[in-house]
Amino acid sequence: MPFIPAPVPDLVGRTIDKTYKIIDLIGRGAFGAVFRAVDITSDGKQYALKCVLTGTPHSKQHRMQTREWSIHSQVDGHPNIVTLHNVIAVGRYTFLVFDICEGGDLFDAVTERRTYFRNDQLVKLAFVQLIDAVQHCHDRGIFHRDLKPENVLCSPDGAKVWLADFGLAEKMVATTKCGVGSRIYMSPECIGEEVRFSAFSNARSDVWALGVILVNMIASIGPWDAAVTTDPHFRSFLKDPTSLTQILPISQEAGLLLQSVFAFNPFERISLQELRMEVLKVKTFFMTDEEVAASSDEVKSAVEMYANQGTTPIPVSTPRFVPQERDLVDERSVPFDYTPRPIQGARFSISSSDSITPTESSSADSLLVTPETHPRAVADVKIIDITASMSNLAVPPSAKFYPLHSDLSIPTEQFIGPTRQTLLRHAMQRLRQQE
């Protein structure tokens, strides 16, 4: 019998584990709700509490939940992965205690607030952080498999991002599971409808998804609906890899970078380490006004849509920042690798807590804790000069790099699959059939 989640009740005003008082609802989803809470046992620090209905013990849903929490704990401690502080079981519900991210997710930052619109330094700063978070996971044998803007949280100004949601993450270097994730961000081999391997690289599929996210940040839309030849935009890309710059407001150098990310053959796809270096080399991800004026109607329409979506339109000619050379060669750097720290207070065996405490029954609740006394931080969306932060992105001379296929712990020849020529022949045969 399939697992059907029950709605999470309104818990505003309740206290969880005699510690976290819920003061606001942040949002709801199909499998739970996220609340804003304050720690009434400390100095009033705020957290995000994700409440989900606990699966029946030994059920598939329960195994999936505990597996997700365990995987998250294994990659915790990186500055660009949202911290999971605690897991608390209360009756039918489980509460996950995360750091609160006031800027919401990357999807809203791109589509509603247009945070990255024609801001090269901010795109570079945020995207390299995301690459570093994914690299941290891969180094520990964790592959996300559901990379998308909705699973990336950000600060109000977009200068800091955190990877979240490990519900579909895998610990296998190679997998046979196709169709896992969000279709628009899946690689052709992950979709598995036109290209089939006996096993394919989870790491290379994560790289593909990062490429789609980068297109989102540059153009506010995806390059295609799905990486299949029945999709007209993907079909055009297979015929002519330069087509992305003909339909989207993407610079020529960004277009070349994306061609290496969207390599049809996963064994020819750029690695994370190479992607990081190439992103740092890009001078601008966006077309100039002159290039837009000389481009196709699709490009002009995409620029206008990006500039005018959300609540407050902004001029198309918003000035762009071009990083200086010194921003890319400073030897100071965020370490390429991180030592995970212990999760303070984490109980991943999921200990039981007392029942949820109503407001009127706890002495601790006599503290006046309301949205008014603990207001949501007001975001100043003006983008500050983050040139100093850009210098931290340069790769230090001591950084270690590995061969192109270093993310595969088994020899490439053991992936018994079609050669590049076979892959492309099948794709072109399908294209000819559809013309």
Residue with tokens 């991800």: 285
Query: Residues with Cβ < 8 Å from 162, sequence gap 6 or more?
Result: 80, 81, 82, 99, 101, 133, 152, 153, 154
CA separation for the pair 238, 265 (Å, rounded): 12
CA separation for the pair 357, 379 (Å, rounded): 32
Q: Which of 120, 146, 157, 365 is catalytic?
A: 146
407 flagged as catalytic? no
The vertex-392 CA angle with 323 and 321, nearest 5°, equals: 20
Burial class (CB in 10 A: 0-12, 13-18, 19+), 148: buried
CA separation for the pair 429, 424 (Å, rounded): 8
Residue 381 is given by DSSP the state -
Cα 137 to chain centroid distance, Å, stands at 12
CA separation for the pair 213, 167 (Å, rounded): 19
Contact 13, 77 (CB under 8 A): no
Pair of tokens at residue 89? 């079981």
For the annotated catalytic residues, the residue numbers are: 146
